[in-house]
Amino acid sequence: MTAPTSTETLADTLHGRLLRPGDDAFARAATPWNLAVRQRVDAVVEAADADDVAATVRFARAAGHAVAAQSTGHGATGEADGTILLRTGRLDHVEVDRAARVARVGAGARWADVQAAAAPHGLTGLLGSAPGVGVAGYTLGGGLGWFSRVFGLAADHVRSIDVVDAEGTPRTVDATRDPDLFWALRGAGGDLAVVTALELGLEPVPAFAGGRTVWPARRAGEVLAVYREVTAAAPRELSLWLSRVEAPGAPAVVVLHAAFLGDAATARDLLSPFAAVGDAVAHEIGPVALDAVGGITADPTDPAAGRSRAELLTGVDSGAVEHLFTSPVAPLLMLQLRHLGGALAEPGPGAGALGAVTEPYLLYGFGLAFEPGISTAVGDRLARLTHDLDGVASGRKPVTFLAPGERAAAAFDAPTLARLQDLKRARDPQGTVRGNHPLLG
Ligand SMILES: Cc1cc2nc3c(=O)[nH]c(=O)nc-3n(C[C@H](O)[C@H](O)[C@H](O)COP(=O)(O)OP(=O)(O)OC[C@H]3O[C@@H](n4cnc5c(N)ncnc54)[C@H](O)[C@@H]3O)c2cc1C
């Protein structure tokens, strides 16, 4: 296959379209879901199919350019600057094979698309809190959500991946066809190849329940104390996330989000110790349909400007965590603790690059960043979180929780990082493919 030699010939080759700065639709196409990240890309290709992806990678390689793949832009970091942005949103097909418990998913599909197709069969994908997030970016970065304590990372449930490699060649990788690349793509992000489709294992979940309980923030210390006890003994079917939320103009609250792979009555029993904390202003636990999982946290669906930082924690018993939760979080909107453990700590032998997540909790801080002054204040507060955690942060974090500017190195131990970097040098010596958290540098 020959490479298009100019943007004009690339544009003529495409079934989708190529947009350049100055074109009417360019600014919109170059804007990611996270509006806090300004992307200064050289061109945007809206791919209509895998052939468009291959033509774009071949053109970039021949021209000494780079491509950055993006479906929604939830994970935008600024690394796409100076690249050809390859938008995959039109590759959004989803096919479910009920008998094989597999979904074949285009690289532009979102979790909502997968859940809509899988839920009628009593099957679920291993999505996170927000169904609007793209399957590809989430899964390539590990993917950690409500089902992880039972089933592990989404990345470890991938059966095969269709890619266009850094030479522009379309091929399928799996446990036997290029196992090195298959291993790396499952957890190390999108820095090694452009994905055009994935085959995902689905899991049967006959009953699922969830909901939330809300208290005024003055109860934060008591809620945290119960949270420590309940999570320490929780069956892996139960996942609890505890947030301190301070929305502008609203009273500060503490919110317990719960998900349970089982019936609502058992979920209520498991949550009964929280009844000892008075003053709950809302308490809703009930059955949740597998295509309504996003309703548990009701994350924003429209594009928003936000900054975040996450840390994996070795525990939540420390005074430092208590201090964080019982103190105002402003200028942040939220601090959230996620209980991990279970299958996350015990990946199978064929697991991807992220390996075991042995830390039992994750702390996630988030602030809105609609204007520069607030964005700076939020960034400063997030930067102090590690210090405030006073040694409770392990220093490692999954790729999907890396913030702009954080390097892939933060997700891996030294031997794993070295293996990934060797692979990057061998497979993409020109740096034709650029992920949002590059493996080198
Ligand atoms: C509201 C919200 C809720 C979230 N909840 C969770 C959660 O519960 N659990 C969790 O683990 N994460 C969560 N995340 C993080 C999210 O998983 C990452 O930001 C992820 O990268 C988003 O994937 P995307 O495809 O939507 O984003 P994009 O920005 O489109 O993609 C992110 C990166 O993935 C890579 N990529 C995407 N498509 C391709 C492709 N076709 N080929 C090669 N590389 C590709 C690229 O490097 C790209 O820069 C959340 C994020 C937000 C904003």
Segment 199-218, tens digit of pLDDT: 999 999 999 999 999 999 99
Query: What are the phi and psi torsion angles at 198 (to 5°)?
Result: -135, 150
* Distance (Å) from CA 45 to ligand 1 centroid: 19
- Residue with the nearest Cα to atom 3 of ligand 1? 130
Query: Helix (H, G, I), strand (E, B), or coil: what is residue 263?
Result: coil
Contact 189, 138 (CB under 8 A): no
What pLDDT is stored for residue 145 in this prediction?
97
Mutate to test the pocket of ligand 1, among 200, 340, 436 (most ligand atoms within 8 A of CB): 436
pLDDT of 124 > 90? The answer is yes
What pLDDT is stored for residue 5 in this prediction?
80
**Average pLDDT for residues 124-152, to the nearest whole number?**
98
Atom index in ligand 1 nearest the CA of residue 33 equals 29
For residue 343, which amino acid is it? A
Contacts 24+ apart (CB under 8 A), 6-9: 7/43, 7/59
Q: What is the mean pLDDT of the chain?
A: 97
- Report how far residue 184's alpha carbon sits from residue 142's, in angstroms, rounded to the nearest whole number: 11
**Average pLDDT for residues 181-190, to the nearest whole number?**
97
* Distance (Å) from CA 54 to ligand 1 centroid: 21
- Residue with the nearest Cα to atom 37 of ligand 1? 137
* Distance (Å) from CA 137 to ligand 1 centroid: 4
Answer whether 89 contacts ligand 1 (Cβ < 6 A). Answer: no
* Distance (Å) from CA 60 to ligand 1 centroid: 23
Query: Helix (H, G, I), strand (E, B), or coil: what is residue 96?
Result: strand
- Residue with the nearest Cα to atom 33 of ligand 1? 137
Atom index in ligand 1 nearest the CA of residue 300 equals 1
Strands 84-87 and 43-46, bridge-based pairing: parallel
Q: Can you name the CATH fold of 94-204? A: 3.30.465
pLDDT of 3 > 90? The answer is no
Q: Tens of pLDDT along 43-54?
A: 999 999 999 999
pLDDT of 19 > 90? The answer is yes
Answer whether 88 contacts ligand 1 (Cβ < 6 A). Answer: yes
Where do runs of H (alpha helix) occur along 190-273?
Answer: 220-233, 264-270
Contact 337, 245 (CB under 8 A): no
Q: Tens of pLDDT along 73-102?
A: 999 999 999 999 999 999 999 999 999 999
Residues 6+ positions from 27 with CB-CB distance below 8 Å: none
Model confidence at 64, pLDDT cuts 50, 70, 90, reads very high
What pLDDT is stored for residue 377 in this prediction?
96
Q: Tens of pLDDT along 286-306?
A: 999 999 999 999 999 999 999
Atom index in ligand 1 nearest the CA of residue 142 equals 11
Q: Can you name the CATH fold of 7-87? A: 3.30.43
Answer whether 210 contacts ligand 1 (Cβ < 6 A). Answer: no
- Report how far residue 52's alpha carbon sits from residue 45's, in angstroms, rounded to the nearest whole number: 8
CA-based max dimension of the chain = 69
**Average pLDDT for residues 1-28, to the nearest whole number?**
92
Q: Could you say which DSSP state residue 142 is in?
A: -
* Distance (Å) from CA 41 to ligand 1 centroid: 19
* Distance (Å) from CA 133 to ligand 1 centroid: 6
pLDDT of 403 > 90? The answer is yes
What pLDDT is stored for residue 7 in this prediction?
87
Answer whether 4 contacts ligand 1 (Cβ < 6 A). Answer: no
- Residue with the nearest Cα to atom 17 of ligand 1? 138
Residues 6+ positions from 12 with CB-CB distance below 8 Å: 4
Model confidence at 2, pLDDT cuts 50, 70, 90, reads confident
**Average pLDDT for residues 6-29, to the nearest whole number?**
95
Answer whether 16 contacts ligand 1 (Cβ < 6 A). Answer: no
Task: Domain ranges for the chain, please list them.
Answer: 7-87, 94-204, 209-401
Q: Could you say which DSSP state residue 15 is in?
A: S
Token pair for 157: 């449930």
Atom index in ligand 1 nearest the CA of residue 138 equals 17
- Distances in Å between the Cα of 12 and the Cα atoms of 52, 90, 207 are 11, 18, 50
- Report how far residue 246's alpha carbon sits from residue 106's, in angstroms, rounded to the nearest whole number: 37
Q: Can you name the CATH fold of 209-401? A: Vanillyl-alcohol Oxidase; Chain A, domain 3 (3.40.462)
- Report how far residue 366's alpha carbon sits from residue 32's, in angstroms, rounded to the nearest whole number: 18
Query: What are the phi and psi torsion angles at 389 (to 5°)?
Result: -75, -10
- Which one has a higher pLDDT value, 142 or 7? 142
pLDDT of 1 > 80? The answer is no
Answer whether 194 contacts ligand 1 (Cβ < 6 A). Answer: yes
**What percent of the chain is modeled with pLDDT above 90?**
96
What pLDDT is stored for residue 96 in this prediction?
98
